[in-house]
A and B are shown apart, each in its own frame.
Chain A
């Protein structure tokens, strides 16, 4: 069964910590994405990547960075976690082009205290 795996379902971190959220896909997809989901705001795109070592800013990249050293892995990094980054983080992948649906991971619910 093809899938996107996010390393943690729940995570609690302290303000100021550096946080790594990991995402791995086994479908050989070119594109990978990080979204955050907050009540009433839907999904907002943080960063995406359409190739190894390539990255593009989404709508809300401030306070985040990403790394894609291998095709199957896309990491989201919170350089210095803040309480307003408490959220559900969703990773997704898709084939190249605009005619493919996304496959999502189960999400990581991050709480910053």
Chain B
């Protein structure tokens, strides 16, 4: 399987803390993307980092990419209860096709 893996599988933090999620993948990539899914809903695209980029920011999100280690991390700073969701990384292992990991479940407690 080309599927990547997120780590940890579940994360529980308090509001205001930072949340870090890691992702590893197996194939070479054109880009790596992060998505969020609220319970029972579809996924929402958060951020895309190209294979020639090392770091990217979007609001409270910071994504890093290390192609030599085939890994990425998503940092959510100053987390809020509304950030509670599952987070997925996805890599473009093939033409127009994303391969998703199993996700990290984040719980942010007030």
Chain B residues numbered 86-109 whose CB sits less than 8 Å from any CB in chain A: 88, 90, 92, 95-103
Number of A-B contacts (CB under 8 A): 67
A24 at interface by CB-CB < 8 Å: no
Query: Contacts A42-B101, A109-B40: A99 and B50 contacting too (C-beta < 8 A)?
Result: yes
Secondary structure at the B interface, as helix, strand, loop or mixed, is strand
A interface residues, how many (CB within 8 angstroms): 31
B33 at interface by CB-CB < 8 Å: yes
Q: Is the CB of A31 within 8 A of B96?
A: yes
B48 at interface by CB-CB < 8 Å: yes
B interface residues, how many (CB within 8 angstroms): 26
Cβ contacts under 8 Å, B98 to chain A? 33, 45, 102
Listed by A's residue number, 13 A-B pairs whose Cβ atoms lie within 8 Å are: A43-B43, A43-B90, A59-B1, A88-B40, A98-B31, A98-B95, A101-B33, A101-B35, A101-B45, A102-B45, A102-B98, A105-B42, A107-B41
